[in-house]
Structure 1
Amino acid sequence: MLCATGVADAQVKWPAITQTNKPWTRWWWEGSAVNKSDLTTVMQQYAKAGLGGLEIVPIYGVKGTEKQWLNFLSPEWMQMLDHTLGEGKKLNLGIDMANGTGWPFGGPWIHEDNAAKTINYKTYTLTEGQTLHEKIFFQQEPLLRFAGQDKVKMEDVKNPVYSNTNLQALALDQIKFPGSFPATLVMAYSNDGQQINLTDKLNTAGDLNWTAPKGSWTIYALFQSLHGKMVERAAPGGEGYAMDHFSLKAIDHYLGKFDESFKGHDLSSLRAFFNDSYEVDDATGQASWTPDFLSEFQKRRGYDLRNYLPALFGKDKEELNSRVIYDYRLTVNDLIYENYTKAWHTWSAQKGKLVRNQAHGSPANILDLYSAIDIPETEGTELLRFKVASSAGNVTGKPLISSESATWLDEHFVSTLGDVKQAIDNYFVGGINHVFYHGLNYSPAKAPFPGWLFYASVHFQPANPFWNDFSTLNNYIAHCQSFLQNSTPDNDVLLYYPFTDIISKTGGALLKHFDAIDKEFKGTGFKENAETMIDHGYAFDYISDKQLLNLRNEGNELLTGKSKYKTIILPNAKLIPLETWQQLMKLASQGATILVYKGLPEDVPGMEKLAERQADYKQSIASLHFINDGNVQKASIGNGQFIIGNDVLQLLDYARIRKETLANDSLSYIRKKNETGSLYFIANKATKAYEGWINLATNASNAVLYNAMTEKAGIARTRQNSDGTLSAYVQMQKGESLLLQTASQTLTGNQYEYFKAAGDAVVINGSWKLHFVEGGPVLPKDVIIQQLQSWTNLPGEEVKKFSGTASYTTNFAKPKGTAKKWSLDLGAVRDNAEVFLNGKKIATLIGPVFSVVIDANALQQKNTLQIKVANTMANRIIDMEKNHENYKVFYNINFPARKATNKGADGLFTAENWSPLPSGLLSNVTLIPMAVLR
């Protein structure tokens, strides 16, 4: 393999495909209503389609199948897991499983003591000589949130919630039973700064036996209660409260259920356990407390939070409020990191398993949470969001970084393989190298069309007409990941993640959650710097305080994990932990360059030993002597330097950080490295084709181009630049991608072929036989057409209702001319096509451009062209909706609309008002003579 071995005489060839190179998928077991026979059948289909692995996630059930449900982790359920693991071995399908059902972690064995909790407070005022006549109780109002279609009332639910036997039907998201809660802490604060703990003065009836001494007093009473969050989308046997993610006792209890169920079962072929994001607080209120929080706080922060409740709740001076809320949130961060994430990872490692985790949404530094597990996983559509998971993986040397991919692309039933490919390319650019589709439902053979479905909008099901061509997309992803997984990051910049600034902000709720960069870091120098660097071709990763402490110098470079970096950017951070600053000073003194956007941090956060830490920080800052140097200010320290400037591009230029100018050409990219040289994945996200020379910010002699979709590969046209870098010539259709591998040694093998049009397009005229191959609800009759158009425009109703595959066949004479190559252009296609010429398959095309270059030798004097086109599921669904055929038969969240305009009277998705979507070949098919560029 050229890109991995570096052998000079290696021929240009593709790496072998492994199980992990292939895309994997989330695999929902609805109601866990699985059986061995159907499991074997569907897994064979998945393997044949080119999937590499499956992630089992039990989920809510299908109506009418209740007798088939298996309770999660029951002996019967474990038998199905055993069978699945066995079939996975036979079929070379890897298996992961969620450490729960739905999300977040929780279940019927989580009772009040281990469930997520919240803290409430009330205040009372007294002056000298007064006593409180009001009873101190917190009256909790009833709260009920549910996701099912049947309206649920509070009186329908028994207390405790885990005593209910119909939780699938209830589909609860959150519940708080009404009642009075006693205070767990009562503190009095005087106007002259005194604090008195009055908890022992409170009796069980809620009476406070205390007379206020001299001064004015404010009494704070804290009330701990259940947050009430339930496991969302829970499977049978998995319904119940979400666990307390701050408590080591809770996670030990939670995982103990798995220990008990796993006894006597061979899990050796199970690869990893998985968690589908934090999502505890996508509810009313926040899970903001744990029973031993006050003692944990004092142990970690060095002072008693009881003395600062007014500041905790934003009622003291602004600076004090900021410092106390920072310490509170930092303690929450520590508890999630240690008592949940690391404890779960330790448990999994003891079983010889990996952990895949979606940390986003947590009220903690998610860079550190991602670092604490084996495979960080992201989701969504934001490139800056992807980079949180990939940065953590890059900085800590993790070989795999995964993505929950293509969850919501468009409305139900209309997303195409081409749409998915564009989404996947964006993940690759964001540093992802281990794709998981979202997703695939187990659906038994007897299930009528469209089968069992999940409520996300892209349905990777065998019932989907694109399934026959699914292997083409999977093969593309496998080829890409065979390179991306066998290379290491090649980013130059570490962008400091200003977690401290965010968790020091006052106002709003107690907790800050970290998910989308656009939301949490809006208006910050961090977001501004990140966007600027992406737009101008600078390669970077984020870095946290904890990760930064593990950096070490190698001359002027910074080492961490398997990566080397050239510089760190402080993005106008206002606050910085003292130990972080001291590490930056140490790194700079040993040779590092620290870039400072706009200004140095103003202060250190938190309360513990504040005066001492502030003095140390000010003294350290004072030791830096900045001088003007053009547009920047520079301070030398030891072998390194700090550089301050108001323009991040000027800072990067001053520090001589390389940039990739291909970003200016509307090309998206990621640069990595391997033993041979630099590896680029390049995607053309523009609306038109790109052709020309791209300059690469890497020293090399030559390069190889790989087109993972067409499997075309060869030595690229290159030229050496005066600075030792390389330029390569590329041709890319819109939506197309290339892998480019540089090398310093002489390469042998095929030259990459470039083409240009050498004449006018020749329309393939004549009649076409249209034959409907497979699909439904019925196969329309064959028809001869003279003009290519959407088959939904043809006479009759059957063609308008049809979802499936149709074959277009025509005969044509070899066009005149001496061209050695021809581009066969299918024009507009809805939605993917297999192309056969003279009985031989030449391509599967998924768009957005539907053309393929063929050798003139493949053309005979008389030719037969067959094009099999598959549309989406939509037209058949439209017909079902109009006939009121009910396929939305799911408990819990049944089938929501992606767009409000597609919501029916029942609140569910409907396509009843849609017109049939265009399907098939919509325009002329042409042959264009091509010349090879020399």
Structure 2
Amino acid sequence: MNSRVIGGLLAATAMLATAVTTGWAQNLEDGFKAPAVEARPRLRWWWPGDAVTDEELTREVRLMADHGFGGAEVASFTPNFLTLTPEERVAVNNYGEPTFFAHLRTAGEAAKAAGLTLDYTLGSSWPSGGGFAIPPEKAFTELSMARTEVKGGQPGPVKVTVPKRTRRLGALNFLDSRVKDPKVADWRKRLDARARTVAVVAMKGSAPDLVKRAGTMGLTISPWSDVVTSGTLDPASRIVLTDRLREDGTLDWTPPTGDWQVFVFRQYASDVGVLGGAGRGPQLILDHMDPTAFAAHAARVGNPLGKKPTGLRSTFVDSLELMQDIQWGPQLLEEFRKRRGYDLTPYLPFVVQPGWMQAWDEHYSPPYFDTSGSDLAERVRADYRRTVSDMMFAGFIEPFVAWNHAHGLKAKFQAHGGAFDIIRGYGLADIPETEDLPHGGDPLFMRFARSAAHLYGRPIISAESFAWKDRPYDVTPEEMRRRADTILSGGVNSIIMHGMNYRFHADDWPGWHAFQPSPFALGFSGPINETNPVWPGMKTLAGYIGRLQSVLQAGEAVVPVAYFYGRYGYYVGIEDDGAGKQAAEKAFLANGYDFDRINPDSIAQAKVEGRQLVSKGGQRYSVLVLPPIDGIRANTAEAIAVFAKSGLPVIFTDRAPSRDEGLAGAKARDARVRKAVAAAIKAGAKVVPAIDVPKAIRAASVPANIAFEGDASDLVFVQRLVGGRTATFLHNRADAARNVSISLPGVGGVTRWNAMDGSISAQSADAVGGETRVPLTLTAGESALLILDPKTQPQTVAAPVVVGSVDLPTSGWSLSVKGHVMRKPFARDFGSVSLKDWREVPELARFAGEASYSRSFAIDPAWLAAGTKVTLDLGQVHDMATVTVNGRTLQPVIAAPFRVDLTQALKPGANALTVVIANVLQNGMINPSDMVYKKLTPVPAGWVGPARLEAHK
């Protein structure tokens, strides 16, 4: 970087430093050594409805505190695939009753006494709804479509297909005993009574070419097939025929000459149920476009808490996951007319696009129908999606936030999985929460929540973390540590570990697991509790995460690039027609530039100060980049023109927008967009090919976070300015090592902070041209937290020198084990054994638990001299190890390299060594004769070694 770039960054960071409190600056080391409660990770705490006791709740809260957690997120739902006694079922379904709130108060009081806080899911399970508070009249609705191809020129009437309600296993299914309550005897009729034909529309055109649908065991998630080639409709031929449709599907219409597509749109109240919802009565999902439905729901599941409930920090709404044919609300046509200025009815065939915010399987597909030679259909879809978004905010998100604030609580919300402006959705919440399930933890996806936090001024960004699909019992602590690094490098600074199960059916080891396997699926990862043999390692993991979060919650984020996002919802591929390459985002990071996504709402509230874009939340950006788009709101384009005139660098990728998004008043709005874009370009905005965007950012004198030398692929980073020091967290997502040199802006000494043990050590660095260059090797999955302090000078640090080593024998270890085999208790003393994978030992091939290896050893007396450090390298371990030397138990080791510092525990002469190895639950769960647990496959287990003692100076 040149001096101008360095000067720009230093000026920017100096402005950020004024916002950092003196306390943070002075106590960064203290917070790293002993993280504050808010910096510690939290647990998703699964309750089996209200089948809990005060004593056990209190005990489990204390257990969390003892293991270094900052609190928990209470999620109460119906235990799946368990045989419940009648008494247990009643207790489970007392969710939402006075006994439940009494138990929640007990948990809150226990949390306060332990110095923790709880978040409470506002409703049992997800989506929101359930109980007698949400009758059919307040259930969410969907729009269904049926299409009939008609040849014109023949006399009518014509027979058309009328869509039926899509059949799903709903809340009123016969398997749920709660539907037998006499109070709901007429609910199915009341649901049916809400059905109505919304529109019948005919247009000339061709049918789409669809992908053949695969079978799903009778379970319908979405009625739509993906599209190979869109059908083409002529909007000029549109005819609305709603009043000509008879009940039997006969349409009183004689079609004119030509090929016609006739569409029938019918509204249904959906009987889709809350997933695993506990409580009395059926579990219908509430209408997320109706604020009265939310109010009824909150009155049932929230109001009994009262105001400022003890020990509760927030209430929480999980990802929405609404299964609707077409996103809809009974007032949508009226609201659309008010908000967008025209009637959507004749254009309804254009809104259907499979995969767009489809619950559980969001993906790209072309729309069912488009127009030839015009962008009318795309404009209609943009207007429709914006209206859906507006109504979701007015009907659910804004009332949810307001309810929390009125009750002295914060609102915590997962905005992904919703058909709305997710950046604004995250941003309206006090605590935006993302999750790591998409793509195995995608730090680019997680930046949406981080972006919203920066744009709207939210200091905490949380993530539902450690969710692996189809891996209920084999996730290791090392994988959790690596996933934590991925999440934190995505901008998150508050991890919610998924999850801790309330101790229920504990006699049937390992007890209830919220997402345990079933005959239909293998479930999700967990449990993180005492029944898991690796539970003792969770205190080490919690400390590791807490130390990192203590730094990542301090100071201010350094994010040079604001990258425009004008879509509704998100899935990987939404911006590149399904390619899912995330090319622009990856290019930013590869070139050393961190980025936030910025939405139109934030642009409307932003301003330019000192050639930087300043968000409502105070975040500063040095450049605004737009992806290749044709349509943009006129007022957004005009705001961008003002930014450019005020000196902000603006870059249009590949092409500049040429029109407004919407249809109403298109001619005038398009002219406004073109005028604004021309003004921006005149003021200095550039149109740049995608491949040259990073180069253009550098040419605009925008300082990068990092300059890389070497292979930086798969390196992800975040950076913060804390009291004048620059904290950089880098993570290597690759499965191979990366050897790089990184250059940090400014000159200063660099230290590397080890979050696993809280130690801080000097890092070799040198000053080059006003920057600080740091050589860095990151093994597969490894991370580094580097702190640059301009008050000190770079130095060269000599690498430790090995002055002696001893290989411990692989044989002659005394071994005793205690745990479970095929879910039954198992304990044995094996006498003298060799180190090997337990799968090679018949008695341990189906074992999960703890194994204690013991022997004595002697060391060279010279190793005990001052200045010498002695480590034990355990070699290959599955899955964690706790070392005891001479009666002194050291911190458990949960991740490679499995090395332990023995220096302070050693003595002259013979030393007694015990190594306790614990493995994950998987192998102990396998049962070839069980239809569920026979699906599990054996995983590596035990201690393979070889073990080696080394002395370093």
Quick check: 405-414 or 824-833, which moved more? 405-414
**Which deviations, in whole Å up to 9, do the C-alpha atoms of 1:146-179 show, x marking residues without a partner?**
79xxxx9x7x479xx97435999xxx9x999889
**Residue of structure 1 equivalent to 2:608:** 553
1:389-788 mapped onto 2 (5 Å cutoff): 389-408=449-468, 411-444=471-504, 446-455=506-515, 456-499=524-567, 514-518=569-573, 521-522=576-577, 527-560=582-615, 561-623=617-679, 635-637=681-683, 640-647=684-691, 648-657=693-702, 658-662=704-708, 664-665=711-712, 667-687=715-735, 694-722=741-769, 724-728=770-774, 734-746=780-792, 754-758=799-803, 761-763=806-808, 767-772=812-817, 777-785=824-832, 787-788=834-835
Please give the alpha-carbon distance, in whole angstroms, between the structure 1 residues aligned to 2:739 and 2:918.
31
Q: Say whether the 8 Å CA contact 1:763–1:924 is kept in structure 2.
A: yes
Please give the alpha-carbon distance, in whole angstroms, between the structure 2 residues aligned to 1:469 and 1:622.
60
Note the C-alpha offset of 1:650: 2.2
2:40 counterpart (10, 22, 25): 22
Q: Say whether the 8 Å CA contact 2:584–2:690 is kept in structure 1.
A: no
Please give the alpha-carbon distance, in whole angstroms, between the structure 2 residues aligned to 1:578 and 1:192.
24
Please give the alpha-carbon distance, in whole angstroms, between the structure 2 residues aligned to 1:221 and 1:7.
64
Give unpaired runs (5+ residues) of structure 1.
Answer: 504-513, 625-634, 885-903
Note the C-alpha offset of 1:206: 8.4
1:94 counterpart (117, 130, 140): 117
Q: Say whether the 8 Å CA contact 2:144–2:164 is kept in structure 1.
A: no
**Which deviations, in whole Å up to 9, do the C-alpha atoms of 1:634-691 show, x marking residues without a partner?**
x551xx5435334223222322332523483464322112223211123344556677
Note the C-alpha offset of 1:809: 1.7
Please give the alpha-carbon distance, in whole angstroms, between the structure 2 residues aligned to 1:3 and 1:757.
43
Q: What amino acid sits opposite 1:67 in the alignment?
A: E
SS in 2 for 1:865: strand
Q: What amino acid sits opposite 1:107 in the alignment?
A: G
Note the C-alpha offset of 1:269: 2.5
SS in 2 for 1:781: strand
Please give the alpha-carbon distance, in whole angstroms, between the structure 2 residues aligned to 1:909 and 1:521.
41
What CA RMSD, in Å, does the superposition of the two structures yield over aligned residues?
Answer: 4.0
**Which deviations, in whole Å up to 9, do the C-alpha atoms of 1:609-629 show, x marking residues without a partner?**
1111122223344456xxxxx
2:76 counterpart (45, 54, 58): 58
Quick check: 52-61 or 682-691, which moved more? 682-691
Say if 1:315 and 1:553 are closer, same or farther in 2 by CA, change over 3 A. closer
1:214-229 mapped onto 2 (5 Å cutoff): 221-229=264-272
Note the C-alpha offset of 1:275: 1.2
Say if 1:589 and 1:208 are closer, same or farther in 2 by CA, change over 3 A. same
Please give the alpha-carbon distance, in whole angstroms, between the structure 2 residues aligned to 1:766 and 1:240.
59
**Residue of structure 1 equivalent to 2:213:** none
**Residue of structure 1 equivalent to 2:53:** 35
Say if 1:526 and 1:315 are closer, same or farther in 2 by CA, change over 3 A. closer
**Which deviations, in whole Å up to 9, do the C-alpha atoms of 1:782-828 show, x marking residues without a partner?**
3332532235545x63x444322222221111137568223311111
**Which deviations, in whole Å up to 9, do the C-alpha atoms of 1:401-439 show, x marking residues without a partner?**
111111106723211111111111100100011100111
- Paired residues in the alignment total 857
**Residue of structure 1 equivalent to 2:222:** none
Q: What amino acid sits opposite 1:21 in the alignment?
A: A
Q: Say whether the 8 Å CA contact 2:706–2:745 is kept in structure 1.
A: no
Q: Does structure 1 residue 865 correspond to structure 2 residue 913?
A: yes
Q: What amino acid sits opposite 1:578 in the alignment?
A: A
1:842-921 mapped onto 2 (5 Å cutoff): 842-855=890-903, 858-878=906-926, 881-882=927-928, 884=930, 904=931, 908-911=932-935, 914-915=937-938, 917-921=939-943
Q: Say whether the 8 Å CA contact 1:772–1:780 is kept in structure 2.
A: yes
Please give the alpha-carbon distance, in whole angstroms, between the structure 1 residues aligned to 2:288 and 2:480.
34
Please give the alpha-carbon distance, in whole angstroms, between the structure 2 residues aligned to 1:835 and 1:435.
28
Q: Say whether the 8 Å CA contact 1:139–1:180 is kept in structure 2.
A: no
Q: What amino acid sits opposite 1:476 in the alignment?
A: Y
Q: What percent of counterpart residues are identical?
A: 25
Q: Say whether the 8 Å CA contact 1:536–1:659 is kept in structure 2.
A: no
SS in 2 for 1:517: coil
Please give the alpha-carbon distance, in whole angstroms, between the structure 2 residues aligned to 1:167 and 1:21.
47
1:75-224 mapped onto 2 (5 Å cutoff): 75-108=98-131, 109-121=133-145, 132=157, 138=162, 140=164, 143-145=167-169, 156=174, 163-165=179-181, 181-185=195-199, 221-224=264-267
Give unpaired runs (5+ residues) of structure 2.
Answer: 1-19, 205-233, 353-368, 516-523
Quick check: 661-670 or 342-351, which moved more? 661-670
Please give the alpha-carbon distance, in whole angstroms, between the structure 1 residues aligned to 2:669 and 2:257.
35
SS in 2 for 1:679: strand
Say if 1:410 and 1:325 are closer, same or farther in 2 by CA, change over 3 A. closer
Please give the alpha-carbon distance, in whole angstroms, between the structure 2 residues aligned to 1:857 and 1:49.
23
Please give the alpha-carbon distance, in whole angstroms, between the structure 2 residues aligned to 1:731 and 1:422.
16
Please give the alpha-carbon distance, in whole angstroms, between the structure 2 residues aligned to 1:691 and 1:449.
45
Say if 1:187 and 1:768 are closer, same or farther in 2 by CA, change over 3 A. closer
Please give the alpha-carbon distance, in whole angstroms, between the structure 2 residues aligned to 1:408 and 1:665.
27
Note the C-alpha offset of 1:583: 1.0
Q: Does structure 1 residue 828 correspond to structure 2 residue 846?
A: no
Say if 1:163 and 1:808 are closer, same or farther in 2 by CA, change over 3 A. closer
**Residue of structure 2 equivalent to 1:251:** 294
Note the C-alpha offset of 1:569: 1.0
Say if 1:643 and 1:75 are closer, same or farther in 2 by CA, change over 3 A. same
Say if 1:433 and 1:644 are closer, same or farther in 2 by CA, change over 3 A. same
SS in 2 for 1:360: coil
Say if 1:326 and 1:688 are closer, same or farther in 2 by CA, change over 3 A. closer
Q: Give the TM-score taking structure 2 as reference length.
A: 0.81
Q: What amino acid sits opposite 2:647 in the alignment?
A: G
Q: What amino acid sits opposite 2:484 in the alignment?
A: I
SS in 2 for 1:224: strand
**Residue of structure 1 equivalent to 2:859:** 814
**Residue of structure 2 equivalent to 1:508:** none
SS in 2 for 1:274: strand
Note the C-alpha offset of 1:224: 1.4
Say if 1:260 and 1:126 are closer, same or farther in 2 by CA, change over 3 A. farther
SS in 1 for 2:791: coil
Q: Say whether the 8 Å CA contact 2:732–2:780 is kept in structure 1.
A: yes
Q: Say whether the 8 Å CA contact 1:370–1:389 is kept in structure 2.
A: yes
**Which deviations, in whole Å up to 9, do the C-alpha atoms of 1:568-594 show, x marking residues without a partner?**
111212222111111111000001001
Q: What amino acid sits opposite 2:757 in the alignment?
A: T
Say if 1:758 and 1:3 are closer, same or farther in 2 by CA, change over 3 A. farther
**Which deviations, in whole Å up to 9, do the C-alpha atoms of 1:538-589 show, x marking residues without a partner?**
2111111211222211122111123211101112122221111111110000
Quick check: 487-496 or 841-850, which moved more? 841-850
Say if 1:80 and 1:524 are closer, same or farther in 2 by CA, change over 3 A. same
Q: What amino acid sits opposite 1:718 in the alignment?
A: A
Note the C-alpha offset of 1:765: 7.2
Please give the alpha-carbon distance, in whole angstroms, between the structure 1 residues aligned to 2:685 and 2:158.
64
